[in-house]
Amino acid sequence: MSAHVLAGSAVVAQVADKQSGEPFFFWVLAVVSVCAALGMIFMRKAVHSALLLATVMLSLAALYAIQNAPFLAFVQVIVYTGAVLMLFLFVLMLVGVSSTDSLVETIRGQRFWTAVIAVGFFVLLALGLGNAALGDSAGLKTANADGNVIGLARLLFSKYVFAFEATSALLITAALGAMVLAHRERTTPKPTQKDLSVERFKTGAHPGPLPGPGTYARHNAVDMPALLPDGTPSELSLNPVIAARTDTIERHTDLYGETEEEAVEEDVAAVRAVTEEVKDADAESRAVFRSAGPATGESEGKAGE
Amino acid sequence: MSPGHYLALSAILFTIGAVGVLVRRNAIVVFMCVELMLNATNLAFVSFARMHGNLDGQIIAFFVMVVAAAEVVVGLAIIMTIFRTRRSSSVDDANLLKY
């Protein structure tokens, strides 16, 4: 009986490591991560590389989870994908998203020798792995008996407590170093609002905001140039790409008139009429407000609040 | 799955990262390839932990993550400083220590 139990426990220990569906997930994640890693080094745009690196890191997190390391899987997602990669993307945005690598080789034969070195290095690693007597894995059933986090904490605060304390010093040093490196001493006084405004008008360019597309026009589509209060179509109101693609005045010819000029005349007349109407209405409402007196105006203001 | 599979995957990812470091010239991408190499070693550590049946490998992977996070902060700050003075993030342009 006891021998039977012993044999049974040995079998259990042997298959403790086996998990159903593991090969399937391993092969899917391995293919995804290797493809993403290859894409990462071949993509020309840095942002694409960063996103593919995020893919690799997420699939590695899943691989950790498969290998009985749930704590590391979550740390991988939170620290690597969440913090480190966002920091990368942040710096990419500061440096400029459109920055691409130049494809000119500055060192002659760099790619060829890189390929040679890579193949040699991989063959070395593969030979080392092939010669190692790896055997079957023991599994983490006993080590994770109280839970993965508790097991890790037990080791971290006993055997590795000195290294753990040293990392706190490392983190403080890194934070200080980043602050020192990112700090920039101001050599010129900070421009005041007055300086900025003088600067803006000095150039002689249009100081205000540009007119929006479709203002006073018959359509409010983005390709419709705005009509200025004096009736001229404004090319400034359009996206430069659209303005370059089409003759903006032609946009007004779809409904009225035989020629572009006539269509624009028609629109200008309509705009003038509307402007006059609004002006009259405005003057009227002002007159009403003035005759009503300040007392009602105040109560209205309170009601509005 | 034998640990050999995981170690082979880790070796492939490490080699890809090394190729990226050697080939790419955008400093940020080079840095990302270094991160890929660190991740590959982490995968190896986690599979070693499972192979030996204790959690030491996972602890080492955890420390690698901490050091990598600190390293990224400082490295990106250096890249930003170089970019500020040189207006470029290419490793070819950062040759101030050369002469």
Is the confidence metric ipTM above 0.85 for this complex?
A: yes
Q: What is the pLDDT of residues A172-186, one digit of tens each?
A: 999 999 999 888 888
pLDDT at A143: 81
Distance (Å) of CA A54 to CA A7, A32, A237, B41: 45, 12, 40, 17
Q: How far is CA A95 from CA A90, A99, A180, B80, B81, in A?
A: 9, 8, 19, 8, 11
Mutate to test the interface with B, among A98, A134, A184, A187 (most CBs of B within 10 A): A134
Please tell me which residue, A131 or A215, carries the higher pLDDT value.
A131
Q: How far is A300 from chain B (nearest CA, A)?
A: 55
Mutant choice from A56, A108, A172 vs B, greatest count of B C-beta within 10 A: A56
Residue A145 has pLDDT above 80, yes or no: yes
Contact assessment for residue A67 and residue B47, using Cβ atoms and an 8 Å cutoff? yes
Nearest Cα neighbor of B71 from A60, A59, A83, A57 is: A83
For B13, the closest of A34, A159, A174 (CB atoms) is: A34
Say how far apart CA A267 and CA A256 lie, in whole Å: 9
Residue A51 sits at the vertex; the CA angle it makes with A48 and A57, to the nearest 5 degrees, is: 140
Q: Amino acid identity of A241?
A: V
CA dist., res. A61 & res. A74, Å (int)? 7
Average of pLDDT values for A6-12? 48
Mean pLDDT of the A16-32 span: 84
Subunit contact B22:A64, Cβ cutoff 8 A: no
Query: Considering CB atoms only, which of B4, B20, B55 is closest to A151?
Result: B55
Query: Given a cut of 50, is residue A304 above it in pLDDT?
Result: no
Q: Is the pLDDT at A278 greater than 80, yes or no?
A: no
Residue A1 predicted with pLDDT over 70: no
At residue A58 the predicted structure's pLDDT band, cuts being 50, 70 and 90, is very high
Provide the whole-model pTM: 0.69
Q: What is the pLDDT of residue A250?
A: 61
8 A C-beta contact, residue A221 and residue A229: no
Categorize the per-residue pLDDT at A249 as very low, low, confident or very high, splitting at 50, 70 and 90: low
Mean pLDDT of A106-129: 90
Tens digits of per-residue pLDDT, B54-92? 899 999 999 999 999 999 999 999 888 888 887 777 887
* Higher-scoring residue by pLDDT: A159, A224: A159
Residue A300 in this model has a pLDDT that exceeds 60: no
Question: In chain A, whose CA is at the least distance from the CA of B51?
Answer: A137
Q: How confident is the model at residue A223 (pLDDT cuts 50, 70, 90)?
A: confident
